[in-house]
Amino acid sequence: MKNLRPLLMATLLIALPSLGVRTASAADSVAANCAASPASAVRAAAEPVTVWLAGDSTMANPSGGRCPVGWGSQFDALFNTDVTVRNQAVGGRSIQTWLYEGNVSSTKGPDGECRLTSTAYSARWQAMLNASTGMKPGDYLFIQFGINDSSSTCPRHVGPARYQQLMTMMAQTALDRGAHPVLLTPVAAITCSGSTAVKNRGFVTQTFAAGSATGAPVIDLQTSSVSRYNSLRFCPNNGDYASGPVGAFFCNDHTHFETYGAQQIATLVTSEVRRQNLPLAAYLK
């Protein structure tokens, strides 16, 4: 009986092809694995990512009421569940007061910059730098200031050279931790010149210079926001920001956003993430 078993198996293997039955091979198994969806492979390989946000009120989470709503509060909804957004933007801050909260004096030094009473970092920046709970390799840091920085008085005032220095430092610090900095020019308020919305923010050159110095991508949010205002035909207007399409987008100060406006600005940012082909785009819905 033992001698008949190999003979029966050989006979069966010869007969199966003639019956239309295909036997599996090692090559078949490899081919089946290679045919798996590339998207499935990407999803399987995806690591959870934290996106950190540093900025001012145009990016910040709402503190109560319907206005203002920063675009950063609408950012998380545009990503899949592998992304966690940590929004550390705070209203009223320049890049320097955000970094050195409580340590920026109300007087200027000989260089025209607000004096620091201490170089100790704010709790929010220290939290991002925490070795165990802060930025980790593969995370992202989005940085957008330049609105309050243009103040002529301290403590918010920041000059162009100082602005570039601090933004470069933040970007390089993220890189040193294996994270990916993304720099943004300040989002525009709605200002009309006749029937055309126009740019109204500074520190654009300095933002691009910080990007060049560190190799960080730059999203020109000022340009894209003004383009969006023009596509929505917000100009001309009579200065009434409490009603109509402009009122649905902006708070009545023409600078901050209603929820709808914040959602629109957030999509401008993610559109640039896709257009620039940043790896973070793989996590977008």
CB 68 within 8 A of CB 62: yes
pLDDT score recorded for residue 33: 41
Supply 65's token pair.
């009421």
pLDDT at 238: 75
Locate 284 and state its tokens: 């977008």
Which residues are CB-contacts of 99 (< 8 A; sequence separation ≥ 6)?
Answer: 121, 122, 125, 166, 170
- pLDDT recorded at residue 241: 74
Closest alpha carbon to 159 in 202, 99, 208: 202
pLDDT at res. 34: 36
pLDDT value of position 65: 77
pLDDT at residue 37 in the model: 38
What is the pairing mode between strands 49-55 and 140-144?
Answer: parallel
Maximum alpha-carbon separation in the chain: 104
pLDDT of residue 243: 76
- What global pTM score does this model have? 0.84
Angle between helices 221-231 and 259-275 (to 10 degrees): 120
**Token pair recorded at residue 233:** 């035909």
Query: Which SS3 state, helix, strand or coil, does residue 7 take?
Result: helix
Residue with tokens 């990512």: 49
Cα dist from 188 to 153, 161, 224, whole Å: 21, 21, 9
CATH numbers and ranges of domains, the chain: 49-283 (3.40.50.1110)
Distance CA 128, CA 113 (A): 25
Beta strands in 151-204 (DSSP E): 180-184, 192-193, 196-197
How many CB atoms are closer than 10 A to CB 114? 25
What is the Cα–Cα distance from 180 to 186, expressed in whole angstroms?
19
Any residues with CB less than 8 A from the CB of 28 and at least 6 apart, and which?
none
Residue-level pLDDT, tens digit, the chain, 285 residues: 444 444 334 443 344 344 343 433 433 433 334 343 344 334 434 689 999 999 999 999 998 878 999 999 999 999 999 999 999 999 999 999 999 999 999 999 999 999 999 999 999 999 999 999 999 999 999 999 999 999 999 999 999 999 999 999 999 999 999 999 999 999 999 999 999 999 999 999 999 999 999 999 999 999 999 999 999 999 998 777 777 899 999 998 999 999 999 999 999 999 999 999 999 999 999
User: Both tokens of residue 194?
Assistant: 């006749």
